[in-house]
Amino acid sequence: MSRLIFPAPSWSTLLAALESTDGLESAAILLVAPSAGDPFRVLVHDVVVVPSAAYEVRTPFNLTISQSFLAAVTKRARLEHLGVVLVHTHPGTEWPTFSPVDQSSAPALADFFIGRSPTGIHGFLVLGGHGFEGRVRTTDGVWSAIEAIDEVGPEIVTVRAGGDDTRQFDAIAFDRNVRAFGEEGQARLSAIRVAIVGLGGIGSIVLQQLAHLGVMRFLLLDHDKLEASNLNRVVGARIPDVGRLKVDVARDCVSRIRPDAQVTTAGDIRRAQEGRRVLGVDFMFGCTDSHGSRAVVNQLAYQHLLPTIDMGVRIDAANGSVARIVGRVQMLAPSLACLVCEHLLDPDAVRRDLLSDEERAKDPYIIGSAEPAPAVISINGVVASLAVTMFLGSFLGLPVATRHQMYLGDEGVVRRVRAQPHPECVVCSSSGVLARGDTLPMPWR
């Protein structure tokens, strides 16, 4: 099974463009990139709506697009190393399926697409009033059904081929959640798969809260071992855990809350073999204090359309006196400014963090090690709670409007940040790596 992922607001825009007031079929072509996770994800880089002049035939029951129009779009796909997905509507049908005409014409069209853009993935999608049917030819040449369509942005919109998710949950255990989110919302929480990058002072609290909320599937990434100095802030950690991997301590914490939760673990997200595992999740939390790993998280959010909330805490203190407390909670998703836009990544620190061990040893500009920063569990807890609440706003529609907040602890306030993405940002713009998936390299180690 595959998922088709649109950057906001392109799915909503497509539906509006294809809505026909005269009952005729309408069509568009999606330029797409692969994101080879589990499930296989097809990322929509651009939407090309077929103009009226490009139809040779257009009725309420079928349509034909001119060869010249198809040739121009598929040429662009080839030049940009993208694939094409042909979309059309079945007006008046709520839950459409491919018609006999669709089925008979698909093989020739697929051969045409493959011949014009042989390295791309290609497919077909038919839309009705509520549902859809779709299939794509993945990078291994196998045809795969599209199980869901997601629009990723400040809000996460999901449409399933077979309707709503029917995953079961314990109605008594989650009664108070259901009173807030409804049964459908709780079912979505039970079905989602979440990655948490960094299981230290903030990540461990995010994990604990998600487990209590009813999230049942986790991917935990951290290559560090628990140290004695971590015990003041890592939730679930005990003295006997010192020396164990943080992800193993975190897994034990989840099992005490939700014994039937599915938890898998991985190491350093800066390494390709480990980092690629997040491509199978639905949402990611960035709880790392490394500029290099934060740069990877930032690029994954946009290049692979993986909605993410990144967060961090800074406590300025000297001689046992705290001068300033600042926390940041920021969603990374299409139409929202990324960490590069807001100059929140130190290029030199990113470069150092992404060097291999051998390269680091040879680098004359790396001297000494960073001084440990102050860390207080209550301050981490404020930031983690803001992040989880923001996630509920994005994923379940909780009335939380902001997607970027600053916690100014010394002032006792939380402020909304209004930042606009740079139109030519190398990461979050369409001229950058947005929705390029596996067609462009990631900054792995």
Is the confidence at residue 62, as pLDDT, over 80? yes
Considering the chain, tell me which residue range(s) the CATH 3.40.140.10 domain(s) occupy.
2-160
Share of the chain above pLDDT 90, in %: 81
Burial environment of residue 229 by CB neighbours within 10 A (0 to 12, 13 to 18, 19 or more): exposed
Q: Does pLDDT of 355 surpass 80?
A: no
- Which neighbouring-strand residues pair with 83? 32
List 220's β-bridge partners, or say none: 196, 265
What average pLDDT does the structure give for the chain?
92
Mean pLDDT of 412-419: 94
Q: Grade residue 350 by pLDDT with cuts at 50, 70 and 90.
A: confident
**What band does 367 get if pLDDT is binned at 50, 70 and 90?**
very low
Buried b / exposed e along 429-442 (16+ C-beta atoms within 10 A): bbebbbbbbbbeeb
pLDDT per position as a tens digit, 319-335: 889 999 999 999 999 99
* pLDDT at residue 360 tops 60: no
Instruction: Please indicate, yes or no, whether the overall pTM of this predicted structure exceeds 0.85.
Output: yes
Task: Give the residue with greater pLDDT, 356 vs 17.
Answer: 17
Question: What per-residue confidence (pLDDT) applies to 10?
Answer: 96
> How far is 238 from 184, CA to CA, in rounded Å?
37
Per-residue pLDDT of 252-279, as tens digits, reads 999 999 999 999 999 999 999 999 999 9
pLDDT at 363: 54
pLDDT score of 15: 94
Q: Binning pLDDT at 50, 70 and 90, where does residue 164 land?
A: low
* pLDDT score of 361: 58
Residue bearing tokens 């790596």: 433
pLDDT given for residue 357 in this prediction: 65
pLDDT tens per residue, range 298-316: 999 999 999 999 999 999 9
Q: Look up the CATH superfamily of 175-439.
A: NAD(P)-binding Rossmann-like Domain (3.40.50.720)
Residue with tokens 């049964």: 183
| Stretch(es) of the chain classified as CATH 3.40.50.720 | 175-439
Kindly give, in sequence order, each residue whose CB lies less than 8 Å from that of residue 374, ignoring residues fewer than 6 positions away: 315, 317, 322
| pLDDT, position 366 | 44
Fold held by 2-160? Cytidine Deaminase; domain 2 (3.40.140)
Q: Determine contact, residues 291/246, Cβ cutoff 8 Å.
A: no
Q: What is the model's pLDDT at position 138?
A: 83
For residue 435, give the amino acid letter: A
Residue 32 and residue 12: Cα distance in Å, rounded?
17
Q: Note the pLDDT of residue 219.
A: 98
